[in-house]
Structure 1
Amino acid sequence: MDSIFSLISPELLVFAFAVTVVAGIVKGAVGFAMPLIMISGMGVLLDPKLVIAGIILPIVVSNFLQVAKAGFGEAVEALKEYKLYVLLTCVMILITSQFVKVVSADTMLLGLGIVVTALCLVQLSGLKIVIPTERRPIASVIAGLASGILGGFAGTWGPTTVLYLVAVETPKARQFVVQGVVYGLGSVMLLAGHLKSGILNQHTVSFSLVMLVPAVFGMWIGFKIHDRINQAVFRKATLWVLLIAGVNLVRRGLLG
């Protein structure tokens, strides 16, 4: 614990725990948004680079749990069906994660805030984008590259994945499985990328390990409420919370 308290005060650690429990609940209930909530929430008080280190192990484990809940047979089928998108997302996460250390904290906050705000507004507006069947291969390339770039820099590629899956009219049950596969493999790439970039190192890994406790606890709660709530209402409420967090990140990025 001494190594953790050299990175973060006890008070801020409690704050990080609370944010991560909420992120885990949302992840378990709707299948995405853990990294966004953790980054947007903890980024209010913590160094963005420490936050990125902190989310890595929780998202690896939470996505493994999501895939396990859906079933590994279903996951294999989903991987075969969306292999191009998954491949491009993973490759770009691995590549772009190497540039995080050269980007200033304010720039990271501003960029993430703009992306979060824009994606939330698109989804909350009810705008329905449907990609014709003949254009879906090129859409997979564009969406995969965009998701990977966002994932490598900001540690989150959930919103772009959700938008893409909705646009190609993925059935609800299959969407939950595909999200788990994309997030799971992507999080492994993020882990590998930040081991190489130095964001996750012998000091920051202790913070990421500790964040596993509230993340798994939150997922446990989220799984219990997954089939008992109106998913559309809960998802919309989550997007409103993320929108507020996104606007705050933009404010911090501009004002420092």
Structure 2
Amino acid sequence: MEQVVAGLALPMFLLAVAITLFAGFVKGAVGFAMPMIMISAFSSFLPPEVALSGLILPTLVTNLGQAFRDGVAAFVGSLRKYWRFLLATLVFITVAAQFVRDIPQPLFLALLGLPITVYAVLQLLGRSMAIKLEHQSRAEWGLGVVAGLYGGVSGVWGPPLIVYLMSIGVDKREMLRVQGVIFLLGSVILLSAHINSGVMTGPNAAFSAALVVPAVIGMLLGLRAGSHLNQARFRWWTQLLLVLTGLNLLRRAMGL
């Protein structure tokens, strides 16, 4: 009789643990990409709702540590500084999550993957894509809406935030903290929304909870590795990861 762990056959569960460990490492090193790696890899061998549920609790717990890494005062300061992006993201995660079973994901993935890939490639080539200060507020609202729409459907809302922070020239430490703050609150809303949508039911919730430990271990290892990256190298790796993320989203959109 085949052994079952958290609702999955043991080989599938162990594969999910290995993927989560790697995703946690990447998140610790550069501050994002955990849900993108997890949803992309999980979707290749798990049903969509199980794949989505698997990333929710690991993302929530690791974001908690990232958000408060500089203390409560810094956390509150980031809330005040980026409240537009945060508000737009949270509202539209809640809205989009209710349509997770109705919206064609290939279209959403293509519309997200293409601009991310183009942006990151241009950055790697040395092209300036900075948002002018007089347009910063509108960009914050607009990218927050985009992040929330995609986040509610796919569990991934990091790329629009990374694009915004890189465009306005945020330094490494602030970028990591702001990502944690917005990702944390978004994770809380995502969990609540998918409890309501029915995605986070008993077996799915157990699977998600089982992945928290490997996610935290991976993140701690990644934090140690990331501490050796200077600002220029940090931005380069972030841009490269955005390119790979965008290409992967396009691959998933085409069903490859």
Per-residue Cα deviation, 1:166-203 (whole angstroms, up to 9, x for no partner): 22332332222111111011111101110101111122
1:71 deviation in Å? 2.3
CA displacement 1:220-239 (0-9 Å, x = unmatched): 11111111134244334534
Which amino acid counterpart does residue 169 of structure 1 have in structure 2?
G
Task: Report the residue type matching 2:117 in the other structure.
Answer: C
Partner of 1:43: 43
Give the superposition deviation at 1:4: 2.1
Q: State the alpha-carbon separation in 1 of the partners of residues 10 and 128 from structure 2.
A: 44
Q: After superposition, give the CA deviation of every residue in 1:98-157 in whole Å (9 maximum; x if it has no partner).
A: 110234xxx325532552354134213314322222222222211111111111111111
In 2, the alpha carbon distance for the partners of 1:19 and 1:110 equals 25
Give the superposition deviation at 1:55.
0.6
Residue 214 of structure 2: aligned partner:
214
**Do 1:101 and 1:199's aligned partners in 2 also have CA atoms closer than 8 Å?**
no
Partner of 1:102: 102
What's the secondary structure of 1:129's corresponding residue? Answer: coil
Structure 2 equivalent of residue 4 of structure 1: 6
Deviating more after overlay: 21-30 vs 236-245 = 236-245
Query: Identity of paired residues, percent?
Result: 32
Question: Is 1:22 aligned with 2:22?
Answer: yes
Q: Could you tell me which residue of structure 2 aligns to residue 192 of structure 1?
A: 192
**1:158 paired to 2:158:** yes
Amino acid at match of 2:105: M
Q: How far has the Cα of 1:52 moved from its partner?
A: 0.8
**1:123 correspondence with 2:120:** yes
One-letter amino acid of the counterpart of residue 17, structure 1? V
RMSD: 2.0
Query: Residue deviations 1:15-71, cap 9 Å, x none?
Result: 111111111001001001111111111112211221111111011001001112232
Task: Name 1:242's counterpart in structure 2.
Answer: 245
Contact 1:48 1:109 in 2 (8 A): no
Secondary structure of the residue that 2:156 maps to in structure 1? coil
Query: What amino acid is aligned across from residue 249 of structure 1 in structure 2?
Result: R
Contact 1:78 1:178 in 2 (8 A): yes
Letter paired with 1:209: A
TM-score (norm 1): 0.89
Instruction: Tell me which amino acid in the other structure corresponds to 1:225.
Output: A
| Equivalent residues, number | 248
Q: C-alpha displacement at 1:244, in angstroms?
A: 4.8
Contact kept, 8 Å, 2:116 with 2:242, in 1: the verdict is no
**C-alpha separation between the residues in 2 aligned to 1:135 and 1:128?**
15
- Which ranges in structure 2 are unaligned for 5 or more consecutive residues? none
Render the CA deviation track for 1:51-93: whole Å, top value 9, x for unaligned. Answer: 1111110110010011122322211101101111111111111
Cα gap change, 1:146 to 1:247, in 2 (>3 Å) = closer
AA at the equivalent of 1:92 = F
Instruction: Check whether the contact 2:106–2:252 (CA below 8 A) recurs between aligned residues.
Output: yes
The TM-score, its normalising length taken from structure 2, stands at 0.89
Q: Determine helix, strand or coil for the equivalent of 2:100.
A: helix
Q: For 1:86, what is the secondary structure of its paired residue?
A: helix
| Partner amino acid, structure 2, of 1:4 | A
Distance 1:133 1:233 in 2: 23
Residues 236 and 132 of structure 1: is their aligned pair in 2 closer, same or farther, counting only changes over 3 Å?
A: closer
